[in-house]
Amino acid sequence: MGILNVTPDSFSDGGQHEGLAAALAHAERMVEESARIIDVGGESTRPGAAPVGEEEELARVLPVVRELAARGMCVSIDTRHAGVARACLEAGAAIVNDVSGFRDPAMVRAVLEAGGDCGLVAMRMPGEPATMQDAPSYDDVVADVRDWLADRAAELEAAGIARERICLDPGPGFGKTPQQTLEMVRNFQEFARLGYPVMAALSRKSYLGFAYGIERPTDRDEVSATEALMACELGASVVRTHNVAATVAALKDMRPYAFLGLGCNVPLVAEPGEEREGKIAMLNQAITELCALPDSQIVDISSFYESEPAYYLDQDVFVNAVVLLRTGIPPKELLGYLHAIENSSGRVRGIANGPRTCDLDILDYQLYVADSDELTLPHPRLLERDFVVKPLLELRPRHVLANDAPVTDAAVRVGKSVRL
């Protein structure tokens, strides 16, 4: 999503794209650089910004939106005013990006009256731009923002907005100190757990000046792109940026994701009555070894689940989990690493589906489908196993496998599991 501010006072590019010709030229340039969406804004929402009336905002954005839509571009209107949203949707905008999170019921009505097929970006911003930086306070900024976004999305759905039309923006820098913003963007996986597309709107933000010591916003494009890459590896799926070319270049380094299944029902060391704790310890040791994989990073780990044995029933219950990994290791090579970790944990391959100290499976590998004696992906029995489906959906609700099969519990038939 390329940012097109047609304002005189935006924090980093105010006045640069005023006037229809300048705005259109910049939009065309961003599309050439691979922007898929052009986000048009006519009111600065920088900290301390004064509000702009709807009439003035419309005069700034409406001609731009109308012309961009006529040229076949996907246009987003960045506004918190229902009249502006309604007029821009009628002019061809496809998305409404509301920094106030659709708190105004009139904004929701404007979207519904537009015919019900436009996208929404709902952002978490406490207060108003003029006051949002007045001592922002959170008990836990990640949990508080996540829970607010979850509630807001549920309210939008209850109002009649289809789930697939909603994108969530945690609002970096909006009503948050640089330290709070840094904590939030380092934990983007928590927002991805909500099961909606998540926007990373990090470009040129003040927390980057705090973190990297770069004072001028326009000098932050390189680190903005780096931060966008990190956010996408953690689960963001939309990037809002001033510098499209730099961001696209950075995202070329994004590593594929892999979901790994972990299981244990034979702890090597456990006192009588502490077998469950011993199994958890075995899985934690395996997770520790996964942390040492080259060119890889654990993004998220599910809860532990206790599950009934599957297929071979005459054995003890299992403890299972799912790990979400970003990795540059190819699938077959990754399988070799997993077998080495199993072996180091005392894995003995005897009875098929029988007892084991450590079982590591590749469940799904991004954009990779294979069917061979060595490796079949996605895992052929993933969707029938409760002890895989539940923890995977905990990490990524509504996940779709590399073979385009959605992960649901509809086909589950073995390994009933309970979250510990």
Indicate the range of 103-117, 298-312, 315-329 predicted with least confidence. Answer: 103-117
pLDDT in tens, 57-83: 999 999 999 999 999 999 999 999 999
C-alpha separations of 17 from 41, 48, 75, 87, 406 in Å = 11, 22, 16, 21, 43
Residues 257-419: name the CATH superfamily. 7,8-Dihydro-6-hydroxymethylpterin-pyrophosphokinase HPPK (3.30.70.560)
Q: Are strands 318-327 and 359-365 parallel, antiparallel or unpaired?
A: unpaired
Judge whether residue 38 has pLDDT over 80. yes
What are the boundaries of each domain within the chain? 2-251, 257-419
Most confident of 40-54, 129-143, 279-293: 279-293
Judge whether residue 131 has pLDDT over 70. no
CA-based nearest residue to 141, from 169, 112, 175, 167: 175
- Topology alike, domains 2-251 and 257-419: no
pLDDT in tens, 161-220: 999 999 999 999 888 999 999 999 999 999 999 999 999 999 999 999 999 999 999 999
Indicate the range of 35-49, 74-88, 187-201, 400-414 predicted with least confidence. Answer: 35-49
Interatomic CA distance for residues 319 and 206, integer angstroms: 44
Provide the pLDDT confidence category of residue 47 given band limits of 50, 70 and 90.
low
- Which pair of structure tokens corresponds to residue 261? 């299944």
Interatomic CA distance for residues 279 and 317, integer angstroms: 10
Judge whether residue 9 has pLDDT over 60. no
Judge whether residue 111 has pLDDT over 70. yes
Q: Supply the pLDDT for residue 8.
A: 77
What's the rounded mean pLDDT across residues 32-61? Answer: 88
Q: How many residues does the chain have?
A: 420
pLDDT in tens, 325-360: 999 999 999 999 999 999 999 998 889 899 999 999
Q: Supply the pLDDT for residue 50.
A: 72
Phi, psi for residue 29 in degrees, rounded to 5: -65, -45
Provide the pLDDT confidence category of residue 127 given band limits of 50, 70 and 90.
low
What's the rounded mean pLDDT across residues 370-395? Answer: 97
Q: Supply the pLDDT for residue 135.
A: 66
Q: Supply the pLDDT for residue 13.
A: 54
Averaged pLDDT score across all residues of the chain: 93
Helices 221-234, 244-251: axis angle to 10 degrees equals 40
Q: Supply the pLDDT for residue 14.
A: 54
Name residues whose C-beta falls within 8 Å of residue 203's C-beta, 6 or more positions apart in sequence. 3, 220, 221, 224, 228, 240, 241, 242, 243, 247
Instruction: Tell me the CB-side half-sphere exposure of residue 196, using CA atoms within 13 A.
Output: 28
**CATH code given to domain 2-251:** 3.20.20.20
Interatomic CA distance for residues 57 and 62, integer angstroms: 8
Interatomic CA distance for residues 13 and 7, integer angstroms: 8
Beta bridge partners of 419: 305
Is 45 in contact with 37 (CB distance < 8 Å)?
Answer: no
Indicate the pTM of the whole model.
0.92
> Which residues are catalytic, by number?
205, 240
Interatomic CA distance for residues 78 and 6, integer angstroms: 11
Judge whether residue 108 has pLDDT over 70. yes
3-class state of residue 9 by DSSP: coil
- Which pair of structure tokens corresponds to residue 288? 């520790």
Please state, for a pLDDT cut of 90, what percent of the chain lies above it: 86
End-to-end CA distance of the chain: 40
DSSP one-letter code for 49: P
More confident residue, 45 or 86: 86
Judge whether residue 246 has pLDDT over 70. yes
